[in-house]
Amino acid sequence: MKNLVVLVMMVLGLCVLASCGGGGGGAAAVPGNTVRGVASKGIIRNGTVKVYAVNPDGSRGGLLSETTTDASGAYRAGIGSYQGAVLVEVSGSYTDEATGATLAVAADAPLRAALDRVEGEVALAVTPLTELAVQQGEDPASHRLSLSQIAANNAAVSALFQVDIVGTMPADPLAASPSAAQGQKEYALVLAAFSKLMQAKAESLPALIAELKGGIGADNRMAAPLLSQFSGALAAFAASAANQTGVADVSATGLINIGGGTRSLSIALSGSRSLLSVVDLRITLPAGVTVKSDALGNLPAGVLGGVAQNVLAAGVLTPATPGSPGTVRIGVESAAGFAAGALLVLQYDAASGVHPLAADFAPLLLEAFDLQQAPLGGLGLSVTLN
């Protein structure tokens, strides 16, 4: 049980770890409410950044701030006392990851990113993926955004491509970045895959984004032929000499699940009339299923949910190896006690075409204790797919 306490304490530090994917580079601080981030389709250096208000009807409002990106693609824009939805537009040149050529994001077809509210300082990357999210919520005729869907569209594209498109700042895939977090490197690889696919299809960036938009179904899954092409482009760049991220095999990352999306399962406990203080359990991950984790295997905030008030839950991922499946060990603890029944919800990622059954997760109860720290037997675990 001591191991379980350590496990729970590890989660308490996640709020600190969650900031590791950010970073606004060397851009200077500005007073008031601020939007900062990195602009990349390859890194956009010395690019033009414009931050606009978004009107209540979803149309683009007045210009709040204009600035430029620095040598690392970072920008920081002060917007004064304005608090509300924003639309950021970026144009400028970048080095194409597939060819090494200098290409441009035109001022009349900028990359965009949207947030439903800015208050204080917020992070907002601007990339082809944020542009895709904007287009997903944009009326094609009026170009008005659905304010109520901005966050949902950002989340949907993040789930589809297995990166936090807004809060993670992509690294430069063409330059070694020892201090970059894993998520920043994976984001960079996804953006480089755009270049590989543009090269293979002889398409422009706007044309490829439009094709991707058309290939995403109502279930937020990518059409199989397009997914195969994108996955092939991603693997090709990762294996190429141009890739300087240090991640050469995407099959060992969450990027293997691009196109599949995030799903969830509910875990319930039965067989006890006593209040419980501790439950220690393990979930086996079927082939093609992964769970998001940090570099130490700890599950970040949001992966575990649905726990009762005054109950702590934490999890650690053991990745799959050639000889054994991946597993997630989960600890649930409460000083006040909790009753049997619905225990928690686990978010997981499934590769496209993978449809596991509840039984495939093989839930195993390792130990359980009542409020007097006496072990409890005869309990059962069940899994329901949501």
Q: Which residue has the tokens 């079927």?
A: 286
Gap between the Cα atoms of 299 and 295, Å rounded: 10
Q: Which tokens belong to 130?
A: 């944020």
Q: Phi-psi region for residue 5, left (φ > 0), alpha (ψ -120 to 50) or beta?
A: alpha
User: Could you give the CA distance from residue 3 to residue 348 in angstroms, rounded to a whole number?
Assistant: 24
Domain with CATH 2.60.40.680 in the chain: 261-385
- Return the pLDDT at 76: 97
> Given this model, what pLDDT does residue 4 score?
45
Q: What is the CATH number of domain 261-385?
A: 2.60.40.680
**Type and span of the H or E element at 366:** strand 364-370
The predicted pLDDT at position 85 comes to 97
Per-residue pLDDT of the chain (386 residues; tens, 9 = 90+): 444 444 444 443 433 333 334 443 444 444 589 999 999 999 999 999 999 999 999 999 999 999 999 999 999 999 999 999 999 999 999 999 999 999 999 999 999 999 999 999 999 999 999 999 999 999 999 999 999 999 999 999 998 998 999 999 999 999 998 899 999 999 999 999 999 999 999 999 999 999 999 999 887 788 888 988 998 999 999 999 999 999 998 877 878 778 876 778 899 989 888 899 999 999 999 988 888 888 788 988 778 888 877 889 999 999 888 889 999 999 999 999 898 898 889 988 877 667 789 999 999 999 999 999 999 888 898 999 88
The pLDDT of residue 251 is 75
Tokens of 154: 């950002």
Cα–chain center distance at 361: 23
Question: How many CB atoms within 10 Å of residue 65?
Answer: 22
pTM of the model: 0.69
Burial class for 140, CB neighbours closer than 10 Å (0-12, 13-18, 19+): exposed
- So what's the pLDDT on residue 204? 96
Under 8 Å between Cβ of 97 and 234: no
| Relative orientation angle of helices 182-201 and 224-238, to the nearest 10 degrees | 110
